[in-house]
Amino acid sequence: MSADSPIRQPVFHARGLTKTYTMGEVTVSALRGVDLDLYAGEFVVLLGASGSGKSTLLNILGGLDAPTSGEVACQGHVLTGAGEDALTRFRRTSVGFVFQFYNLIPSLTALENVALVTDIASDPMAPEEALALVGLSARQHHFPAQLSGGEQQRVAIARAIAKRPAVLLCDEPTGALDSQTGVLVLQALEHIHHSTGALTVVITHNAVIAGMADRVIHLSDGRIAREVLNPQPQAAAELRW
């Protein structure tokens, strides 16, 4: 296929994903057949009630978990059935994760927390550059305990993107924050999305955040209930909580 082919190749291509958890005699169907293509440059919001399967889906896309059935590929590489070494390489080089709780190392400064990741990446940004992207240049020598929750989350975002991943997967990144601080985190994600072009997927149960997305995917009971394309996404600063 020529480089100027009009056919867009998805970054993620998933078909028939199911996930069943069995605990004793109880089985839970977390995903019940999800088909999904996600494209470079998109800002996607995964919206759904608690328990609808959002985290399960994101973890499978990011190679943290495997589906019970179905197939998922990222940039043409099939993840399903790949060995642990291949999945580790995939996570290390291609995926930035941001979780609700920031998982920073308390005894390291902001800069040192980011450098932990850039030290093992192949073509990383300088940690200073990653912190500048989230507006924290002035706080790089502070320890997590000296930063607000929103600032800690922005350090976590800097850490996630410093290795220049193709995809940034965020699971409830503002879930532990008040709305004013949450907006600053969303603005950081928005800025990074614009400046790096990374496919960005944000899980939330806050419908207001969906206003930022190019595409909103509604999950309900382990299935995609509907998808809405948003030709004119709102700026994070203009979201009304």
Per CB under 6 A, which of residues 47..86 are in contact with ligand ADP? Answer: 48, 50-56
Q: Shortest approach of Mg ion to residue 67 CB, angstroms? A: 16
Other residues' Cβ atoms within 10 Å of the Cβ of residue 132: 15
Closer residue to ligand ADP (CB): 53 or 63: 53
Please choose, from the candidates 169, 188, 160, the residue with its C-alpha nearest in 3D space to the C-alpha of residue 104: 160
Binding of Mg ion by 94 (CB under 5 A): no
Partner interacting with residue 28 (select from Mg ion, ligand ADP, none; CB below 5-8 Å by kind):
ligand ADP
Which 36-55 positions form the footprint of Mg ion (CB under 5 A)?
54-55
What is the number of the residue whose Cβ is closest to Mg ion?
A: 55
d(CA 70, CA 35): 9
DSSP 88-149: HHHHHHHEEEE-SS----TTS-HHHHHHHHHTT-SSPPPHHHHHHHTT-GGGTT--GGGS-H
Regarding 30 and contact with ligand ADP (CB under 6 A), the answer is: yes
Q: Which of 9, 28, 88, 241 binds ligand ADP (CB under 6 A)?
A: 28
- Shortest Å distance, C-beta 142 to Mg ion: 29
Min dist. Cβ of residue 112 to ligand ADP (A): 31
10 Å CB burial of residue 127 (0-12, 13-18, 19+) is: buried
Binding site for ligand ADP (CB under 6 A): 21, 23, 28, 30, 48, 50-56
